[in-house]
Structure 1
């Protein structure tokens, strides 16, 4: 899947609302974060709690420029939870943690401005 990180890029083609609903984006709380030395690009391994229905899922995130490991635990983030798992190095990434590029293209995590229940779905 190709991601376009160019903020000047034209909007994607128009889609129907059903396409949006097919992408299941949920909020979860990072419960553990560790370095990921085997990753091709600098990244952390995250364990994210999405509440009782979805449970805890693993993710790899290239967020080392803006986030120190010790600051991640307890942070709420948004992630796509219905993509197929992806093998990244020695870990299986189960969800895609979402972020936006800063002016240098480095990832800034997307998260709610106030605490919300884990597992809530984006609408």
Structure 2
């Protein structure tokens, strides 16, 4: 699968609503964030609390250009929680934290515009 940051790229192929429902996107609150200098591309290690049903999960996120470490704890983010864990260097990333590319291609986190309960599902 090829990911593009090009805002002029055409929409992806049409999928059925049932396919969309298979992707479990939840909101969580970042509990802690630390630098991950061993990553191939600049990244942070995040611990994100998705509430009692899912718990606290780890994520490697390439968000260093638009987000300072000190600003991340307490911030809500959206993530895909039902992909298999992925080994990122020495770190096992359990969820895919979601974001959009800015005009320069750097990632900006995607989050609700007001606080919602951890574990809330996108629909």
TM-score by length of 2: 0.98
Structure 1 residue 31 and structure 2 residue 31: aligned? yes
The gaps in structure 1 that reach 5 residues or longer are none
Quote the residue 2:49 is aligned against.
49
CA-CA distance at 1:92 after TM superposition: 0.2
Structure 2 CA distance, aligned partners of 1:2 and 1:118?
30
| Aligned Cα root-mean-square deviation (Å) | 0.6
Aligned residues: 123
The gaps in structure 2 that reach 5 residues or longer are none
Structure (1/2) with the larger helix percentage: 1
Structure 2 CA distance, aligned partners of 1:2 and 1:38?
24
CA-CA distance at 1:96 after TM superposition: 0.2
Moved >6 Å (runs of 4+): none
TM-score by length of 1: 0.98
After superposition, residues 110-121 of structure 1 pair within 5 angstroms as 110-121=110-121
- SS of residue paired to 1:51: coil
- SS of residue paired to 1:111: coil
After superposition, residues 1-123 of structure 1 pair within 5 angstroms as 1-123=1-123
Task: Map Cα deviations across residues 73-121 of structure 1 (whole Å, 9 max, x no partner).
Answer: 0000000000000000111000000000000110000001000000000
Structure 2 CA distance, aligned partners of 1:10 and 1:41?
27
- SS of residue paired to 1:59: strand
Structure 2 CA distance, aligned partners of 1:4 and 1:15?
18
